[in-house]
């Protein structure tokens, strides 16, 4: 099993994305976990193999090296042979290189002194209603995450065991070097994964990783005025770091559901409101309930046309993390009646008989232009 291709072990294609890799790993890990198969040497061997495969393929740099060189990329000396991890003479150059490139080369924030790997950041997409965005709310979310092992308290070592010892592959440096032609390439030690130490007696619950897969529930405060794409950061709620390293962060991305009445643009709310043709002709007032749970009375001027927009100050969305609110804009849609009683039809016929054309200047002007174009009398 040691020579089995990593992609075959995880039952995925070589083009699989990160989400597919993680999902497949979790599924297989649940099936062959030693706790579910006590005393089965094959299950334990497969569990170790898929962990090795996952540790490689989840890291973009390791995966690229594996795709090119296979497992030879992680053997002592790497492709082309060369320098082992205990070599000296390049530490000064290595320190300068890492200080210049920082996180781009996998250092900086993601790695602590001694090679402790900071836990990965996680993303959670949360869908809320426009009303929730207006008023804010407290939301509970459940996330699958690697948490610090309760048995060993994140150390990865078995209780009463020998604990950690210096990695013999890299002599405690956490890195190994390989010579490729005229160049010396430095990479993370494949034995200790950059920590500089290995666990002599690993914890049986986490297999020496110091963390286990679990599901946890978090309370997230949705602030008033959030918009589509707003990102909320929960520090330290991402994946736990290996063997006591700091945890990553959890980022909540907000998605606002489409509303049945209102459309939003920043802090402005838009609504199309139908009114009767008599109200449009004679004027009046309409009442529009807002998201602020207030009923707003809006005056309709006589003779208003479809498409006219009326602004209600202060009835829009609140400003995120600030003071004040936007406006509500009501777009008038004049509705032509479709069901008329005999008396209503009679009254409208009487009205039509008294029309001079001045009542609807736009119509009169349009047909006047057409007559002028064709020379009609």
Average pLDDT over residues 151-159: 81
Alpha-carbon Rg of the chain, whole angstroms? 34
56 known member of a binding site = no
40 known member of a binding site = no
Domains and CATH numbers, the chain: 115-151+206-258 (2.60.260.20), 263-374 (2.60.260.20)
Percent of the chain with pLDDT over 70: 81
192 known member of a binding site = yes
pLDDT at 81: 40
Would the pLDDT of 265 be above 70? yes
For residues 88 and 309, the model is more confident at 309
Q: How confident is the model at residue 244 (pLDDT cuts 50, 70, 90)?
A: confident
C-alpha distances out from residue 117 to 157, 209, 238, 315, Å: 17, 11, 13, 49
Is the pTM above the cut of 0.75?
no
Return the closest-CA partner of residue 290 out of 120, 78, 59, 131.
Answer: 131
pLDDT at 180: 66
Average pLDDT over the chain, rounded to an integer: 81
Burial class (CB in 10 A: 0-12, 13-18, 19+), 254: buried
For residues 90 and 370, the model is more confident at 370
pLDDT at 126: 94
For residues 375 and 304, the model is more confident at 304
206 known member of a binding site = yes
Would the pLDDT of 1 be above 60? no
pLDDT at 199: 78
Return the closest-CA partner of residue 263 out of 332, 313, 330, 311.
Answer: 330
For residues 332 and 370, the model is more confident at 332
Query: Does residue 280 contact residue 332 with C-beta atoms inside 8 Å?
Result: yes
167 known member of a binding site = yes
For residues 37 and 127, the model is more confident at 127
66-103: per-residue pLDDT in tens? 887 777 766 644 444 433 333 333 333 343 334 334 43
pLDDT at 267: 94
170 known member of a binding site = yes
Would the pLDDT of 363 be above 80? no
Counted residue by residue, the chain has a size of 377
SS3 assignment, position 179 = strand
pLDDT at 124: 92
106-149: per-residue pLDDT in tens? 444 444 444 457 888 999 999 999 999 999 999 999 998 888 88
Residue matched to tokens 């600030």: 322
Would the pLDDT of 21 be above 70? yes
Separation CA 234–CA 25 (nearest Å)? 26
Q: How confident is the model at residue 374 (pLDDT cuts 50, 70, 90)?
A: low
DSSP sequence for 88-117: -S-HHHHHHHHHHHGGGGT-GGGB-TTSPB
Q: How confident is the model at residue 167 (pLDDT cuts 50, 70, 90)?
A: confident
360 known member of a binding site = no
């Amino acid at each position: 099993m040691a020579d089995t291709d990593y992609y075959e072990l995880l039952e995925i294609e070589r083009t699989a994305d990160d989400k597919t890799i993680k999902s497949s790993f979790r599924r297989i890990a649940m099936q062959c976990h030693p706790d579910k198969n006590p005393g089965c040497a094959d299950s334990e061997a497969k569990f170790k193999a898929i962990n090795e495969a996952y540790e490689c393929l989840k890291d973009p740099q390791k995966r690229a090296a594996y795709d090119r060189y296979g497992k030879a990329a992680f053997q002592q000396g790497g492709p082309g042979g060369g320098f082992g991890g205990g070599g000296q003479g390049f530490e000064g150059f290595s320190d300068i290189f890492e200080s210049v490139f920082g996180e781009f080369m996998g250092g900086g924030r993601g790695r602590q002194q001694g090679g402790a790997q900071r836990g990965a950041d996680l993303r959670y997409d949360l869908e809320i209603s426009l009303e929730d965005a207006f008023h804010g709310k407290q939301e509970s979310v459940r996330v699958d995450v690697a948490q610090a092992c309760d048995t060993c308290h994140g150390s990865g070592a078995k209780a009463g065991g020998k604990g950690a010892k210096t990695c013999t592959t890299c002599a405690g440096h956490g890195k190994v070097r390989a010579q490729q032609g005229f160049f010396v390439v430095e990479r993370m030690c494949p034995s200790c994964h950059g920590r500089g130490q290995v666990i002599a007696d690993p914890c049986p619950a986490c297999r020496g990783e110091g963390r286990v897969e679990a599901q946890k529930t978090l309370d997230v405060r949705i602030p008033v005025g959030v918009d589509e794409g707003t990102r909320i950061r929960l520090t330290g709620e991402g994946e736990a770091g290996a063997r006591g390293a700091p945890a990553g962060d959890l980022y909540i991305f907000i998605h606002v559901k489409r509303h049945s009445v209102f459309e939003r643009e920043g802090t402005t709310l838009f609504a199309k409101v139908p009114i009767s043709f008599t109200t449009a002709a004679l004027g009046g007032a309409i009442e529009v309930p807002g998201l602020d749970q207030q009923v707003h009375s809006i005056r309709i001027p006589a003779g208003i046309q479809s498409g006219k927009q009326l602004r209600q100050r202060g009835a829009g969305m609140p400003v995120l993390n600030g003071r004040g609110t936007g406006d509500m804009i009501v777009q008038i849609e004049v509705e032509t009646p479709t069901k008329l009683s005999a008396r209503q039809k009679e009254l409208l016929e009487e009205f039509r008989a008294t029309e001079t054309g001045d009542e609807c200047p736009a119509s009169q002007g349009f047909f006047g232009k057409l007559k002028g174009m064709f020379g009609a009398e």
